[in-house]
Amino acid sequence: MTPPTPPTWQEAVFQVLKRGQVRQVAYVPDAGHAHLIRRAIADPEISDVALTTEEEGVALVSGAWLGGQRAVLLMQSSGVGNCVNMFSLLRSADFPFFTLVTMRGEFGEFNPWQTPMSQATQAAMELMGIQVLRADDPATVEETVSAGFDTAFLAGGKVAVLLGQRLIGRKKWERQE
């Protein structure tokens, strides 16, 4: 079965990563990042790394940098809480860092367990010295991601781009029978 055609902004995000010579994409599987994950898997110039927990991604992208490569961490807002202690690596070693975070617990969320971390995501990242940019409008996603990418890899910053739940769309609970 062929996956549905993604919104244009999703392909634009992948093209930002390609132009920026990203060689590793770390992720915990997530429907909001499905297009980026599929594109990374299909691209022979990119190593895709499925993680068991998001904090492994912080170490992976740091190691990629030490090895001379650019890497990006894809995660959901609920995974940010798993990373807080590992973010200390970024501060202590002053590695550049770039992550794309799909938001849950916002617009039309059906799962109440997603809401607390969603409400704390931006503050948690900022407390750990990570600059947070946010995209909620498809027309601004590419420029926001590109600006964050440049801040991370040209200026040595630590940047998270939050992709709002309105971009990704409402998740609906469906009973499996």
Give 165's pLDDT tier (boundaries 50, 70, 90): confident
Predicted structure pTM score = 0.90
Q: Is the pLDDT of residue 127 over 80?
A: yes
What's residue 105's pLDDT? 57
> Are 12 and 140 in contact, with CB atoms under 8 Å apart?
no
Does residue 98 contact residue 74 with C-beta atoms inside 8 Å? no
Q: What angle do CA 27, 106, 127 make, to 5 degrees?
A: 65
**Domains along the chain?**
8-168 (3.40.50.970)
What is the pLDDT, as a whole number, of residue 103?
84
Highest mean pLDDT pick, 85-89, 106-110, 141-145: 141-145
Give the DSSP per-residue string, 40-60: HHH-TT-EEEE-SSHHHHHHH
Enter the DSSP assignment of 113.
G
pLDDT of residue 5: 76
How high is the pLDDT of residue 6?
74
Lowest mean pLDDT among 40-44, 62-66, 91-95: 91-95
Highest mean pLDDT among 39-53, 110-124, 157-171: 39-53
Q: Please enumerate in sequence order all residues whose Cβ is within 8 A of that of 105, keeping only pairs 6 or more positions apart, or say none.
A: 77, 78, 111, 114, 115, 116, 117, 118, 119, 165
**Residues of the chain above pLDDT 90, percent:** 70
